């Protein structure tokens, strides 16, 4: 397990003074049905994008709050990755995208019947958003509505 | 990620997350998170270790059965 003391001095200083956006009280929905009957969507903040899509903008001040829609049958090895953060080692993720975007694993769980089904669309954001105003007002509600329209019961969130 | 989780939970989509940095996860208010004993950047353990990745996902999904209250943070 990592702790804040594992980070570089630069990132430790940032985290020590950073005013986290917190959600209080934490919304806590109860699952509607058992997992083996649930439609599951994958959501990452790994900065993943599909071939032909525009990569995230790592230079944007405050962070890039846009998201990419990735089809459920995407070839995981062909996906691109860009991430603004230098706080984590990207070597493993680039060697195997499933480490932060486990679409292959979820397809296997669907085939095995341990989840009811995989949603038609997965979503990818890029983390390290320090100015989340537009995320809160626009892109997160829009992305959530998209998963609702896909009949999603459960979202697996993989933060990076 | 907590802001995205909140939007989903409010619309009735239950969320399960993994985290390599639980002290931050507890602070920001993620509804459910599995704390994994791996470095930052390795939320599902190791590259090309499908069996480990599946075990981590299964443990994360198991958090959905917990009654709360949030945040539900458990060690893998």
Question: Looking at beta carbons, which residues of chain A come within 8 Å of B35?
Answer: 1
Task: Give yes or no for residue A35 having a pLDDT over 80.
Answer: yes
Distance (Å) from the alpha carbon of A130 to chain B's nearest alpha carbon: 12
Quote the pLDDT of residue B73. Answer: 95
Q: What are phi and psi of A60, to 5 degrees?
A: -65, 130
Mean pLDDT of chain B: 93
- Give the strand pairing for B32-35 and A67-71: unpaired
Question: Looking at beta carbons, which residues of chain B come within 8 Å of A96?
Answer: 47-48
Quote the pLDDT of residue B12. Answer: 94
Complex confidence, ipTM:
0.96
Quote the pLDDT of residue B1. Answer: 79
CA distance A108 to A86: 31
User: pLDDT digits over A85-121, tens only?
Assistant: 777 788 999 999 999 999 999 999 999 999 999 999 9
For residue A122, what are the β-bridge partners? Answer: A70
List, as ranges, residues 96-155 from A with C-beta within 8 Å of B.
Answer: 96, 98-100, 102, 104-106, 108-109, 114-115, 125, 127, 132, 135-136, 140-141, 143-145, 147-148, 152-155
Extents of the domains making up chain B: 2-75
Q: Outline where DSSP puts E strands in chain A.
A: 39-44, 48-49, 67-71, 80-81, 117-118, 121-125, 154-158
């Amino acid at each position: 397990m990592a702790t804040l003391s594992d980070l570089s001095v630069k990132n430790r200083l940032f985290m020590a003074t950073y005013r986290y956006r917190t959600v209080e009280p934490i919304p806590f929905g109860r699952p509607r049905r058992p997992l083996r009957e649930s439609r599951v969507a994958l959501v990452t903040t790994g900065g993943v994008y599909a071939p032909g899509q525009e990569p995230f903008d790592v230079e944007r001040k405050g962070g890039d709050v846009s998201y990419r829609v990735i089809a459920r049958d995407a070839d995981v090895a062909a996906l691109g990755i860009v991430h603004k953060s230098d706080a984590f080692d990207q070597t493993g993720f680039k060697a195997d995208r499933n480490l932060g975007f486990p679409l292959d694993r979820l397809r296997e769980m669907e085939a095995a019947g341990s989840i009811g089904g995989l949603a038609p669309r997965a979503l990818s954001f890029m983390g390290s958003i320090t100015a989340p105003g537009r995320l809160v007002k626009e892109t997160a509600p829009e992305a959530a509505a998209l998963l609702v329209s896909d009949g999603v019961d459960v979202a697996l969130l993989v933060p990076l | 990620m907590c802001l995205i989780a909140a939007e989903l939970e409010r619309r009735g989509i239950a969320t399960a997350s993994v985290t390599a940095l639980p002290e931050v996860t507890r602070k920001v208010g993620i509804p459910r998170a599995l704390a994994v004993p791996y470095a930052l950047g390795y939320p599902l353990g190791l590259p090309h270790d499908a069996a480990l990745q599946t075990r981590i996902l299964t443990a994360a999904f198991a958090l959905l059965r917990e009654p709360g209250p949030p945040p539900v943070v458990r060690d893998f």
